[in-house]
Structure 1
């Protein structure tokens, strides 16, 4: 994601935290790819969305369950809670996409599944992660796409479908050339090849 889009603040919350009998005022800024907690205009913490496994609402605000097992609690009003939840609900594939951000589309086929994936860049690794997230989202429908585990990333191979043949698809050059050759509309087949220990 480019630095300009990742520096756009989507929402900001002013919160009061109780810590060791003191009340401290913090602010939390939500960006397209992460949120940052600030104390007295200094960064106190930053959490990329890919490290979040779960988001929950409670009476006091929001709770974010992280991959390392910890929870981050952010006190907020009901209106702020709805606004932040809306950000996570509309998040698509690691960033918020608008029509002008999309440079191509891929019709992806995995076993009996068929779905469309927008391409926001010519980065193959990002595209592959987005495809795997969508596959994971099918099997774990209650989880947001951004929180689907990428632990088995290397067990998936992607191929471009050209009439009756499949062409291996594995780097940025392949993605760019495919977008040009197929006029920004790709037919992609995904195969799962488990690692042998």
Structure 2
């Protein structure tokens, strides 16, 4: 799959960080910090772009991948209560403290365009169970919320498998029609047992 991005760099102290964003932020993507769950709603295009971002994060361990969608909630579907969030994906080896995100975000410039070609996430592929018993439990996502942003920190394997969930949402969601006439299809990204899983729902009907 081909993914159009912008690459931004900024320095915090002696360290320079690279932040990757989609060149065009999908308008039909919403992420909310609800009272019980972390919930996301995506149409087909948004799910496809987001699948690409998770796949990119899996191959970019020295970068933060940022999906700035919290402003979408104001014009999104009726999803109930919850605080709108952006999303940042990163490999655990980067060891970036989410508490520093607001400062880093404020230093990012307009960025430079970059087109990336990635293998498309395959919803039919068998899950990779090779790291399920990692002694430091790095093969389950760790999450944190700072500065209106959900941070999902994991290994390359977990990032790839999350990409598959979004790819399946884009592929299968449009074909699901239930008895109320609406379309409903869900997937989930598993997190550390001490955190909440990320619940994803395909949503085709958005306000005009």
Relative to the length of structure 2, the TM-score reads: 0.26
Decide which structure has greater strand share: 1
- Decide which structure has the larger Cα Rg and report it: 1
- Which protein, 1 or 2, shows the higher relative CO under an 8 Å CA cutoff with sep ≥ 6? 2
Relative to the length of structure 1, the TM-score reads: 0.26
